[in-house]
């Protein structure tokens, strides 16, 4: 195995760990992290500290969305890492796209099952769908960029 493949495997394992770590938080811890991130983002946007009643209103209104965005983002990144590793073994075609999305979807499923064993957490099929959507968008974007790069290389070398 080359060192490049090794690094790609380590990135995937690291990201699996990041996802696992977030999933291993109990409901209170997980909600606390989501709300802290949400409040910090809003305070940065507004360029001021929020009053307690503003924090409560914002968390009631937007916590669901920030949590789903976190799911989407985590699997967006995972799919990129999986894609760049798998392209070492398969050509850039639809099999690569399929297997990248499949691996991410399977990990999302096991992640939701894992959450069934964490205090106050649940496993939700909807979250698997959000995770898979993030993985799919990442895979399609990465695939498109890689195909564009291939096409440009072909054109450059064809003219010489």
Does residue 127 belong to any structural domain of this protein?
yes
**Considering the chain, what is the average pLDDT of its residues?**
94
* Structure token pair of residue 145: 């960029």
* Overall number of domains in the chain: 1
Q: How far is CA 27 from the centre of its chain?
A: 20
Q: For the segment 113-159, what is each residue's pLDDT rounded down to a tens digit?
A: 999 999 999 999 999 999 999 999 999 999 999 999 988 888 888 76
Residue 160 reports pLDDT greater than 60: no
Mean pLDDT across the stretch 7-15?
Answer: 97
Domain extent at residue 90: 3-26+67-159
**44 in a structural domain:** no
Query: In this structure, are residues 50 and 29 in contact, taking their beta carbons and an 8 Å threshold?
Result: no
59 inside domain: no
User: Does 109 map to a domain?
Assistant: yes
pTM of the model: 0.90
Q: How many helices (H) and strands (E) does the chain have?
A: 5, 0
Pull the structure tokens for residue 3: 């060192």
């Amino acid at each position: 195995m080359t060192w490049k493949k090794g690094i790609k495997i380590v990135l995937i394992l690291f990201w699996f760990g990041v996802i696992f770590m977030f999933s291993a938080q109990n409901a209170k811890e997980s909600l606390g992290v989501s709300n802290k991130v949400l409040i910090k983002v809003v305070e940065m946007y507004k360029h001021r500290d929020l009053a307690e009643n503003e924090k409560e209103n914002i968390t009631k209104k937007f916590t669901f969305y920030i949590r789903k965005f976190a799911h989407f983002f985590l699997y967006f990144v995972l799919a990129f890492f999986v894609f760049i590793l798998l392209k070492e073994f398969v050509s850039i075609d639809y099999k690569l796209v399929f297997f990248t999305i499949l691996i991410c979807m399977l990990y999302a499923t096991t992640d939701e099952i894992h959450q069934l064993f964490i205090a106050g957490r649940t496993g939700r099929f909807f979250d698997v769908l959000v995770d898979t959507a993030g993985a799919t968008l990442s895979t399609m974007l990465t695939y498109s960029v890689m195909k564009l790069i291939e096409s440009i290389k072909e054109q450059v070398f064809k003219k010489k």
